[in-house]
Amino acid sequence: MKVLHGISLKVMPGEIVCLIGPNGAGKTTLLRTISGLNRATSGTIRFKGEDVVGLKPHQMVRRGVGHCPEGRRVFQLSVEENLVTGYIAGRGKSFAELRDQVYRLFPILGERRHQSAGRLSGGQQQMVAIGRALMGSPELLLLDEPSLGLAPIIIHQIFEIVLKLAESGVSIILVEQNIDLSFEVADFVYALEHGALQCSGPAAKIAADPRIKDIYLPGLDSHGAQ
Ligand SMILES: Nc1ncnc2c1ncn2[C@@H]1O[C@H](COP(=O)(O)OP(=O)(O)OP(=O)(O)O)[C@@H](O)[C@H]1O
Ligand SMILES: [Mg+2]
């Protein structure tokens, strides 16, 4: 089934691009297409100037695309074993270097390294899922709704790390239902609805775009009353 239609999106090194849109808009499908989990039936995907359409997920990971999936999907293994599953050799850093980097970013994971990831809190599982994606030394990191179901304080911690990663030069495509949060962290925002791009642009500009309110809050007047 064709889910996405004519979407054009670009992300440069160190940029955070947010994909927003209601349930079923096609956000996850777009991320899965970029990382090779879904096959694009038409269009192009270029990564660092090279055409990567049709490459398999493991090939995309080797090229530097990390995918932190919707729903976290941590394995019923210890925290450290989860990191092992994400490690990609040959991208310049050893397992130990990358693992230690993840534990520096998320000290709680270092403390819980031998615990079963499945028994951790939702926030800690999200950290494991991000950490696992970082074990491939990604240059582009795809994050699918990392804030879902988490307490504001945990979301804040996770987004601090996302900002830090971008500052270090990692490009980030972030799917986020929390639009206030999106506008806060993003350089550019792309709003999807029914598999098509409704509007896109610098976060500050899109935040003020009336179409955003139409997509998200139909029926609300300008004072927020229904
Ligand atoms: N494997 C699949 N087979 C058929 N249809 C699918 C499949 N995965 C997703 N879809 C459909 O594609 C559309 C987009 O789904 P997608 O999961 O990409 O949306 P989303 O924006 O990530 O939504 P959500 O906010 O709920 O995560 C939906 O209509 C969905 O039902
Ligand atoms: Mg989704």
CATH number at residue 181: 3.40.50.300
| Ligand 2 ion: Cβ-proximal residues, 5 Å cutoff | 27-28, 70
Q: Nearest CA to 161 among 144, 145, 135, 185?
A: 185
Asked whether the predicted pLDDT for residue 112 surpasses 70, the reply is yes
Q: Which residue minimizes the CA distance to atom 12 of ligand 1?
A: 3
Eight-state DSSP code of residue 76? S
29-80 pLDDT, tens digit per residue, is: 999 999 999 988 788 888 888 888 889 999 999 999 999 999 889 899 999 9
* Beta-bridge partner residues of 51: 46
127-160 pLDDT, tens digit per residue, is: 999 999 999 999 999 999 999 999 999 999 999 9
- Ligand nearest to C-alpha 29: 1
Res 225: pLDDT: 44
Residue indicated by tokens 């775009």: 209
User: Would you put residue 135 in left (φ > 0), alpha (ψ -120 to 50) or beta?
Assistant: alpha
* Domain-located, residue 6: no
* Domain-located, residue 60: yes
Q: Number of structural domains, the chain?
A: 1
Q: Nearest CA to 216 among 114, 224, 75?
A: 224
Residue to mutate (ligand 1; options 2, 18, 27, 35; most atoms within 8 A of CB) = 27
* Domain-located, residue 10: no
Return d(Cα 190, Cα 175) in angstroms, integer: 10
Is the sign of the CA dihedral 54, 52, 64, 24 positive or negative? Answer: negative
- 87 lies in which domain range? 16-26+33-216
Return d(Cα 155, Cα 163) in angstroms, integer: 12
The pLDDT of 11-18, averaged and rounded, is 93
29 neighbors 21 (Cβ within 8 angstroms): no
pTM above 0.85, yes or no: yes
* Domain-located, residue 181: yes
